[in-house]
Amino acid sequence: MRFDDKVVVVTGAAQGIGKAACRRFLEQGAKVAMWDMNGEKLSAAAKELDPNGERIMTVIVNVADRASVNDAVRAVLERWSAIDVLINNAGITRDGMLHKLDPDDFDRVLDVNLKGVFHCGQAVANTMRERGRGAIVNTASVVGVFGNVGQTNYAAAKAGVIGMTRTWAKELGRRGIRVNAVAPGFTATDMLASVPEKALDAIRERTPLGRLGSPEEIANAYLFLASDEASYVTGAVLGVDGGLVL
């Protein structure tokens, strides 16, 4: 029970990797605040994970809106008085080749995937600074390290997340706050639902382990980096990609 009585905030918690992360933290004794924009999916996920609602609270949050984030932080503090771990997992895609990428789609992806990480990280870090401890795990991507065709906006956002992660690790380390990132490869979530099977087969073929990742495998990386087992790890970008980057 590595997270017994610790309070964990997970953004993008209603499905996919976020939901898997909530399950793993609950299994390890945590109290979990599930943040997401989709209230219906959020309620369904919370009911599935903790039917009695004893160790879960749900908050409808738009991470791209600072006021919404501030309200969510206040709600968690009012119920549980502290935030020990932030998992900055919320993200979207709006793919398009450079010559026809809609500027609005560029802005929207950066608003959620980069600025949203900033909003949540800054708001939660301010509460952690007061206590002199905490762990933040940001979700980057192999795309943020190596780029990807048709994902100018997503690659820019995730590269920015990596830069922020390393900057925050330097700024917050002496305050007792560790900041790391996970860089998933292609993972079997709803985000890949629109990708043709032929393209997925090509990804599997290029991946040394020969398959897509699972949400649980990414969640396990979150769990490690947020735990005391990683107490001397900060500023790291942990690739969980089946060897794809090789």
Short-list 199, 177, 3, 10, CA closest to 89: 10
Q: How many whole angstroms separate alpha carbon 30 and alpha carbon 1?
A: 8
Contacts of 99 (CB under 8 A, 6+ apart): none
Q: How many whole angstroms separate alpha carbon 220 and alpha carbon 16?
A: 13
CB atoms within 10 A of CB 171: 12
* Number of helices followed by number of strands (H, E) in the chain: 9, 7
Cα dist. 82→6, 45, 122, 125 in Å? 8, 23, 15, 11
The amino acid present at 143, given as its one-letter code, is V
User: What's the token pair of residue 83?
Assistant: 């935030």
Name the active-site residue from 154, 168, 186, 222.
154
222 included as an active-site residue? no
DSSP per position, 187-232:
BSSGGGTTS-HHHHHHHHHHSTT-S-B-HHHHHHHHHHHHSGGGTT
By CB atoms closer than 10 A (0-12, 13-18, 19+), residue 100 is: exposed
Catalytic machinery residues? 154
